Structures are given as C-alpha cells and as structure tokens.
Amino acid sequence: MGVPAFISHFTTQPLYFIKIPLFTTIAYITGQTFVIRQPRYLPRFIGRPSSQKLRTFLPTPEEISYICSRSRVGAGLFAPHRWKPTEDVFIELEELSSTHPSPIESSQEIDFSTYRLVGPRLVQGQGIIGHGVCYVLIEELGQ
C-alpha cells in the first residue's frame, strides 16, 4: 500500500461515514434520495423508508467483477450494447436455462410497477438501487 493509497483510505472512509447521517437527514427533510459509494463496495441507497424511488447507477469494474462472480455470469456480457435476432435470443435462452441456473430464483418475481425511476433510463451495463432493491442489467435481450 503506497502513500497515496494510504492517504486516500484514511480520508475516503471517514467522509463516507460522515455522508450517511448528513444525507439521511436531508432525505428525511426534503424527500430526496441519494446514492453514495464506499470504495470496493456496492452503492448505498439513502432515502425515506417510504420512498418508492429507484435510482440508476453505473457499476465500477470492481462491482462488475463482484456481481459476475456471485451470479456465475461472464464479465464479457458488459460489452457495448448490441441487439440480436429474435431466433438467436430464444436459442440462447433455452441453452442457458438448461445449463446454468438463474441468478434470480425462478419463484421470485420482480415487480417494479410500484416504484418510480429517478435518473436516466435503465440500459445495459447500468444498475438500479432503492430500498431493498439493487439490480444490474447485465444484458438486454431482444431486437
């Protein structure tokens, strides 16, 4: 660990823990939501407990590696967006479902209809975060 990394570690960590109560207070007063990051960890969502907002975020390379290792998905899927022919998508889905278990339990449904997206539209390679929600869109399928 070099001197710059040492200094960064001991300035970034305290700032992160100062931001939590500061942004939590602002969120309770104004109703705004915030996404803050601690180095080498997934982002943290701050908002009122009743907040139904989802915010988009760009995962860092470390977060992408972490997500891919946990979901058994190759990091190469974070390549630039490309559409595939519908037939190819169905063939790949059939092959994938027969050889790899889904990172999301098949009995678990994700209903985002009660949430409101704050920020840009969710596209491939981005994530959404909210209370009890943290997902990254690894690959869009379609045409």
Q: What is the pLDDT of residues 11-26, one digit of tens each?
A: 778 888 999 999 999 9
Residues in the chain: 143
Residue 26 vs residues 23, 73, 130, 135: alpha-carbon distances, Å? 5, 37, 16, 25
Supply the pLDDT for residue 97.
63
Global confidence as pTM: 0.69
Distance (Å, rounded) from C-alpha 63 to C-alpha 60? Answer: 5
| pLDDT (0 to 100) of residue 81 | 60
